[in-house]
Chains A and B, each alone.
Chain A
Amino acid sequence: MLSRDEDILKAAEDWRKNGRGVALATVVETWGSAPRPVGSNLVIDEEGNFLGSVSGGCVEGAVVTEAIDVIESGKPKMLEFGVADETAWNVGLSCGGTIRVYVEKVT
């Protein structure tokens, strides 16, 4: 309810209107201690520029990479991140939680 975030959704709209390929990532589920609440958004363009956050910095890099795929394919993806992942040392959540992130193209 409280938000002084940059206006991520407005940016998504503006970027798309300017002809950029755009994807929107949304935290849809969290377990345990998660850095950003369900509903948090990250907007990504085809060149990897992004605004917002889904984890406070832990997994944004991986989400951006996947988002560029989604922009190309047009197919939404569900991503999951947690410390149990084999990639934990690279893109795990240091806080010990697990998050699920839905990534969709803005068409």
Chain B
Amino acid sequence: MNLDILKTLNEERSARRAAIVVTDVASGAQRLVKAADVANDPLKDALNKRLRMGKSGMEETPEGRVFMTVHVPPARLVITGAVHISQSLAPMGQLLGYDVTIVDPRTAFASIERFPDVKVIAEWPDVALPPLGIDRYTAFVALTHDPKIDDPALLHALSHDCFYIGALGSKKTHGRRVARLKDKGLTDADIARIHAPIGLDINAISPAEIAVAIIGQITDRLHASEETA
């Protein structure tokens, strides 16, 4: 691999932009295709498919047999609410390989003691979320029960194409949330993207069990989006 290709690839990766390296394994010829340039590439169909699946692999193409190394950003988990469930959900997410961030403006909740190894931002979502660069490789979970915190965060997550969006609350609580969000202009299709009540139905009771239900549902959507997206 040419050092210039490697350098550009690393720049794309650190900016959380997807890119694919196309290698002719017979000749060693190689090029880098940034996600933004896929549409103009002669191999765009294969590249698009690979990008959606997030999977590297061999492709038979008119250019010959090539290997496509797909680089998509590492998945992230962003949570509003430094609450009891988050104390279980954050380490579970880390165990599964997610880069986890918790946002909670209530400083009494968002203390380092409660979350020793997690990035916690003690700011309101309108301040905390935009710099995070939330994207389609991000799972978003709203856990505060406080509309002042969860609603703006949900609006942000919906407008940034998160692969998973979940919100804590009973059917009744969610019903009220739906009414508020529709007042803000959301459509039924937008609302349908929110998993609520949150989590797989595994009769979870304790906060840790609810975290299992949530992380299970995120896992399901992560791989479903690779297959069907």
Do B25 and A102 have beta carbons less than 8 Å apart? yes
SS class, residues of chain A in contact with chain B: mixed
Chain B residues with Cβ below 8 Å from A16 are 3, 6
Do B28 and A38 have beta carbons less than 8 Å apart? no
Interface string of B36-71 (1 = CB under 8 A from A): 000000000000000000111110000000010110
Q: Report how far A106 CA is from B2 CA in the complex, Å.
A: 6
Identify which of B3, B9, B99 contacts A107 (C-beta below 8 A): B3
SS class, residues of chain B in contact with chain A: mixed
Counting CB contacts under 8 A, is A13 at the interface? yes
Chain B residues with Cβ below 8 Å from A37 are 56
Q: Report how far A9 CA is from B56 CA in the complex, Å.
A: 15
Counting CB contacts under 8 A, is B115 at the interface? no
Q: Which of B1-40 contact A (CB under 8 A)?
A: 1-3, 6-7, 9-10, 13, 23, 25, 28, 30
Question: Nearest A residue to B97 by beta-carbon distance?
Answer: A2
Q: How many B residues are at the interface, by size bracket?
A: 20 to 34
Q: Which of A34-66 contact B (CB under 8 A)?
A: 37-39
Given contacts A1-B74, A24-B1, contact A39 B69 (CB under 8 A): yes
Do B55 and A9 have beta carbons less than 8 Å apart? no
Do A39 and B70 have beta carbons less than 8 Å apart? yes
How close is B168's CB to chain A, nearest CB, in angstroms? Answer: 24
Number of A-B contacts defined by CB within 8 Å: 72
Q: Report how far A38 CA is from B58 CA in the complex, Å.
A: 9
Chain A residues with Cβ below 8 Å from B28 are 75-76, 104
Counting CB contacts under 8 A, is A12 at the interface? yes
Residues of B within 8 A of A (CB): 1-3, 6-7, 9-10, 13, 23, 25, 28, 30, 54-58, 67, 69-70, 72, 74-75, 94, 96-99, 137, 222, 226
Contacts A76-B28, A107-B2 aside, 18 further interface pairs with beta carbons under 8 A come to: A1-B54, A1-B72, A1-B75, A2-B75, A4-B97, A9-B9, A12-B1, A24-B1, A26-B56, A28-B56, A29-B57, A38-B55, A39-B70, A102-B25, A102-B67, A106-B3, A106-B6, A107-B1
Residues of A within 8 A of B (CB): 1-4, 9-10, 12-13, 16-17, 24, 26, 28-29, 37-39, 75-76, 78, 102, 104-107
